[in-house]
Chains A and B, each alone.
Chain A
Amino acid sequence: MFRYVVKRTLAAVPLLLAVLTVSFFLVRLSPGSPFQREAELPEEVRASMEAAYGFDRPLPEQYVRYIGSALRGDFGTSFMYKDKPVREIIAEALPVSARIGLLAMGFSILVGVALGVMAAVKQNTLLDYATMTGIMAGKSIPPMVLAPVFVGVFALGLGWLPVAGWNDGAALNLVGPVVCLGLYDVAAIARLSRASLLEVIRNRYIQTARAKGLPEWRVVLGHALRESLCPLVTYLGPALSSILIGTVVVEQVFNIPGLGRYLVAAATNRDYTLVLGITTVACLLVVAFNVLSDLALAALDPRIRVQ
């Protein structure tokens, strides 16, 4: 397993280089510059800034210098937030996105698996139909609609929760973002769990377990559930990395200092260094979660060997 992890990690290096290269040229070749504003910079200031950031050098030379720094973990200073190195911005924002993303995913898994198991066990009953209809309705409401409604009801209406803000990650401030983010994946997880469990409980070893007189809850939870989680684990890898970076709307509505808001602002303002820094982190997260997903799969299913 250690060799597998090392192998996958080394394989991530060319992937990272490819992502950085494409991103670098995409941002640099797009129209606009980080020094553009409605009231323009004096020409000599713009020229000095461009020289200071190396923009007066040929693009390939800029690329080589940038990649060299990036591989040393130095993404430079943000063009927008001029007092902050990109590394510092990411170090502050990533834990925030990670906390909300992991909690949201945990919420999705707990609720989604529970609903999926319930629907599978009570297949073709009213409970099954009601559950599936309910979660599909939930899936149809994207976070950008759900979040303001959630705020309207639970914060402004009932006054149970704060309207917005991070407040150093206080529990009440997490409820809204976690639920609004997590509900969206509940549907996918519930459907996957239901379909997978329905397939697994038809296996002979499940029939054997029942024949041995085990109570149904032990048959389902103790024997069938484990194998049925395999497709879910495959889904979770990419889902987790996208939930960590793609939470812009929820961060905006709840005013959370996460990575998603930075990425959008950086792209709009041509903050090259911040865009590339966040892109690198996103790439690393995708690789990491995919590796973890594979390892988890191997742990769940003894028939799978990591090679």
Chain B
Amino acid sequence: MAHRKNAFHVFLVTLLGAAAAPSLSVVSGGVSSAAWAAPKGTVLKIAGGKEIESLDPILVDGADAALVARGLYEGLVVSDPKTLEPKPGLAESWKVSADGLTLTFKLRSGAKWSDGSPVTTKAFLAGWKRALAAENGAYYASYFDVIQGAENYRKAKTAAERDFTKVGIKAPSESELVLSLVQPAPYLLDLMTQPIFAPLHEASFAKHGKAFVKPENLVVTGPFRLAAWKLKDKLELVRNETYHDVRNVKLAGVTVFPVDDAKTAYNLYETGQVHWTRRVPLATLASLRTRDDFHLERMLNTVYLRFNTTRGPLKDARVRRALSMAIDRKIIADKVAREGQEPARTFVTPGLAGYTSTFAIEENVEKAKALLAEAGFPGGKGFPATTALFISDEQSKNVVTAVSAMLKKNLGITISPRNLERGVYYDALDALNYDIARSSYTAKFLDAKSFLDKFTSQNTYNNLTGYKSPAFDTLVAKAEAQSSPKERARLFAEAEKVLILDDAVLMPLYFNTSINMWKPELKGLHTNVLDVHPLKDLSLESALVKK
């Protein structure tokens, strides 16, 4: 009997111990596995968005990853935090030839990696070669296509075809880099601020392979080093003391908390656990707009409906134009999307320096009805059942439902909103197995090309509408080959008119906004149309005062 009692007591103790054991490590406070401990004091805390998928510079994707990556990797050029103008980074200067086809960069003398070794042009050759190799999976390898031979290199099917010496990237010395372009590219300097153009620390990569991005292995050129990275918990950066401009880096460190839920991000901000949040819940937006710490800025992002031009009534451009004219975009932006967006009657966002769209979609229900009748559907009669796809999220659902309701009321046609899981949605787009689909596009660089070259006939993997127009293709090609910025802008504007007004391949709805809230003590942060915020320029004023 005694041993039965003991067994029971052992059971109870085990059960309580299993519950208590985790809490013992709570008492001990847990241990950070940081490679370097983040210093106390001037550490900026940010509630980011979704978790960063990779810090490999050639795989960085998304605004949240770019925020951190720009702090770790400085390339030849960096962005001005206010104007987004390209400024010297690791390149102290550059020259552009008169015909715009040759760029020569001079590396800053004394530039060092975080391990103290000097930065040379070899590192850029290694990094860019790695970005162009298709097996490394760089999403944005096509950014290099404007450089001679780059497109052939990345598309090469055999080792013989793959010859980096044929690519127009040369390093005549350890401090000089020369790029030879296929055509003038005024946007290239802006593009080169992206992490994919970062140099590669070859010794670290040779030693660790793909594990070179781990905190204990990563060697960087930027103002910060990676101290620790725990997925879905936090990412810690510390100041890089070998950075060439470390005197002007006022933050000792940055901690980014990936937060999926907008309400949680906002709560962290309100309770002072973070200095800066990049997300707020939709429900609180109206009450936040009047606050001084609330910052709304138009982004180079357009939300639109995409038409499948290969099937059904939407093959007819008159039908597409009719649909595009029959909705009220102001209601959709103000009453449905409700995040301070502006109605979009063009595709390229206003605010792109040096570019102005030459048209605006006319919202005119009577003209839309007439067009639809001309196309064979008077009063909407005979218009077949049509669906509009969107990926499951509240705002997309509301917007697509609102558009469907407007088209029903104004044209008498039935468009059924259909919510699809993400993978199924992309499959449908890939296979052109859809009628209408809700999409959005964010420009990656400050040029109309970023918006428009997606829809050429050759760009099948981004076009996803079946649209093929020799006129549009020709205009885009001519614009890209232009060295005169004015003529370039004029040709792109003409191409945009063909795409949106004449052929109505896309139905722009609204231009998205970026929302940021930051504490008054955070200085150096500015809103801009790309929502790019170099961490180097930030400081926490109260921490400086304490010193």
Contacts and interface: CB of A to CB of B under 8 A. Distances in A.
Interface of A: 30-33, 36-49, 51-52, 80-84, 89, 92-93, 98-100, 102-103, 105-107, 109-110, 148, 151, 155-156, 159, 162-171, 174, 226, 252-258, 261-262, 265, 268-270, 296, 299-300, 302
Nearest to A103: B22
A255 B26 contact: no
Interface stretch (B117-125, B198-206, B254-262, B469-477): B254-262
A98 B267 CA distance: 26
Contacts of B23: 103, 171, 174
Given A164-B264, A168-B32, A257 B232 contact: yes
14 contacts: A36-B422, A39-B462, A42-B142, A52-B135, A52-B137, A82-B54, A83-B213, A89-B231, A106-B15, A171-B23, A252-B261, A256-B232, A261-B232, A299-B8
Report whether over half of chain A's contact residues are helix, strand or loop; otherwise say mixed: helix
A100 B26 CA distance: 11
A38 B139 CA distance: 12
Contacts of B261: 252-253, 255
Counting chain B CB atoms within 10 Å of each CB, the highest count among A51, A80, A254 belongs to: A80
Nearest to A88: B231
Contact of A48 (B54, B137, B139): B137
B178 interface: no
Given A44-B157, A82-B56, 17 more contacts: A38-B441, A39-B462, A42-B134, A80-B53, A81-B53, A82-B59, A83-B210, A98-B22, A105-B19, A106-B18, A156-B271, A164-B264, A170-B29, A226-B8, A257-B230, A268-B422, A299-B7
Interface string B117-154: 00000000000000000110111011000000000001
Nearest to B439: A38
B16 interface: yes
A4 B423 CA distance: 44
Interface string B418-452: 00011110110010000000011100000000000
B154 A168 contact: no
Contacts of A38: 426, 439-441
Contact of B232 (A45, A52, A107, A262): A262
Nearest to B391: A38
B286 to A, nearest CB: 19
A48 B268 contact: no
Interface string B382-424: 0000000000000000000000000000000000000001111
A169 B30 contact: yes
Contacts of B11: 296, 299-300
Contacts of A148: 263
A83 B423 contact: no
Interface residues of B, number: 72
B4 interface: yes
B273 A163 contact: yes
Counting chain B CB atoms within 10 Å of each CB, the highest count among A80, A164, A302 belongs to: A164
Nearest to B14: A296
Contacts of B358: none
B10 interface: yes
A171 B27 contact: yes
Contacts of A258: 232
A202 B141 CA distance: 76
B289 interface: no
B54 A81 contact: yes
A251 to B, nearest CB: 8
A48 B440 contact: no
Contacts of A164: 259, 264, 267-268, 273
Contacts of A83: 54-56, 210-211, 213-214
B426 A32 contact: yes
Counting chain A CB atoms within 10 Å of each CB, the highest count among B26, B234, B268 belongs to: B26
Given A39-B139, A45-B141, A255 B213 contact: no
A82 B154 CA distance: 21
Contact of B268 (A81, A165, A256): A165
A62 B21 CA distance: 41
B84 interface: no
Contacts of A261: 232, 260
